[in-house]
A and B are shown apart, each in its own frame.
Chain A
Amino acid sequence: MNTTNDSRRQFLKHTLVGAAGMAALPVLTPGELFGAAGQSEKKAQSEKKERVIVKRKLGKTGLELPVVSMGVMNADNSELVRAALDAGIVLVDTAHGYQRGRNEEMIGGVVKSRPRDSYMIATKVRGDGVDRETGEFTADAKAGPFVENFETSLKRLGVSYVEILYLHNVVTRQAALFEEYLSAMVKLKEQGKARFIGVSTHGNEPEVIRAVAGSGVHDVVLTAYNFRQPHVADVEAAMAEAAKAGLGVVAMKTQAGVYWDKERQKPINMKAALKWALGNENVHTAIPGFTTFDQLELDLSVMADLALTVDERKDLEQGEDMGYRGLFCDQCSVCMAQCGRGVDIPTMLRSYMYVYGYRNLAAAREALDGVELGRLACESCDRCTVNCTMGFDVRGRVRDVARIRHVPEEFVV
Chain B
Amino acid sequence: MRNSAWGPLVVTVLFLLAAAPAWADITVMFPDMIGWEREGEPAVYLPDNLFEYINGAADLYLAYDFQEMGTLNYAYGRGGSVSVEIYRLGDAKCAYGIYSQERPRDPSYVESGAQGYYDPGVLNFCQGDHYIKILGYELADGEKVALAAVANSISAKISSARVDSTESGSGEGSGTDRAGDKTLPAALLCFPATGKVPNTERYIARDFLGQEFLRSAFVAEYDIGEQGSRAFIIEARDADDAKGMVDRFRKSVADRGGKVEESDGVVCLRDPRQSAGPVTLKRHGNYVWGAVGDDLRALGTVLRGIEENLKEHHLLE
Contact = CB atoms under 8 A, between A and B. Distances in A.
Q: Do A and B bind each other?
A: yes
Interface of A: 15, 18, 21-22, 24-26, 28-34, 36, 38, 41-42, 44-47, 73-80, 82-83, 95, 97-102, 124, 126, 132-133, 168-169, 200, 202-203, 252, 262, 289, 291-296, 355-356, 359, 361, 400, 403-404, 407, 410-413
Nearest to B211: A292
B284 interface: no
Contacts of B2: 410
Most A CB atoms within 10 A — which of B7, B49, B209, B262?
A: B7
A201 B258 CA distance: 42
Contacts of A28: 296-297
29 contacts: A25-B277, A28-B296, A30-B262, A30-B280, A32-B296, A36-B263, A36-B264, A44-B259, A44-B272, A46-B257, A73-B56, A78-B276, A79-B273, A82-B275, A83-B273, A95-B55, A98-B56, A98-B60, A100-B102, A169-B55, A202-B56, A292-B210, A355-B15, A359-B11, A361-B7, A361-B10, A403-B14, A404-B14, A411-B3
Given A25-B278, A32-B297, A356-B15, A44 B270 contact: yes
Given A28-B297, A79-B273, A126 B55 contact: yes
B245 to A, nearest CB: 14
Contacts of B48: 262
Nearest to B47: A262
Contacts of A47: 256-257, 272
Contact of B300 (A32, A46, A294): A32
A22 B259 CA distance: 11
B8 A132 contact: yes
B206 to A, nearest CB: 7
Contact of A102 (B49, B102, B277, B299): B102
B267 interface: yes
A77 B271 CA distance: 15
A42 B259 contact: yes
A24 B225 CA distance: 12
A410 B6 CA distance: 9
B166 interface: no
A270 B68 CA distance: 27
A42 B294 CA distance: 14
B123 interface: no
B59 interface: yes
A95 to B, nearest CB: 6
B6 to A, nearest CB: 5
B274 A79 contact: yes
Contacts of A25: 277-278, 294
Contacts of A200: 56
A30 B3 contact: no
Contacts of A75: 210
B207 A29 contact: no
A79 B210 contact: yes
Interface in B157-194: none
A138 to B, nearest CB: 12
Given A22-B270, A26-B296, A356-B15, A407 B10 contact: yes
A291 B54 CA distance: 20
Interface string B1-40: 0111011101100110100000000000000000000000
A55 to B, nearest CB: 24
A99 B60 contact: yes
A126 B54 CA distance: 10
A203 B14 CA distance: 17
Given A41-B259, A98-B57, A76 B278 contact: no
Contacts of B262: 30
A392 B257 CA distance: 52
A31 B3 contact: no
Contact of B209 (A22, A73, A77, A95): A77
A262 B19 CA distance: 12
Contacts of A30: 261-264, 266-268, 280, 296
Contact of B51 (A202, A356, A361): A202
A322 B48 CA distance: 19
Given A33-B266, A98-B56, A413 B300 contact: no
A99 B55 CA distance: 12
Nearest to B263: A31
B297 A33 contact: yes
A34 to B, nearest CB: 5
B141 interface: no
Interface string B239-264: 00000000000000000111101111
Contacts of B267: 30
Contacts of B50: none
A367 B250 CA distance: 59
A265 B48 CA distance: 16
Given A359-B11, A411-B7, A289 B101 contact: no
B14 A74 contact: no
Nearest to B292: A79
B295 interface: yes
Interface string B209-223: 111100000000000
A46 B207 contact: no
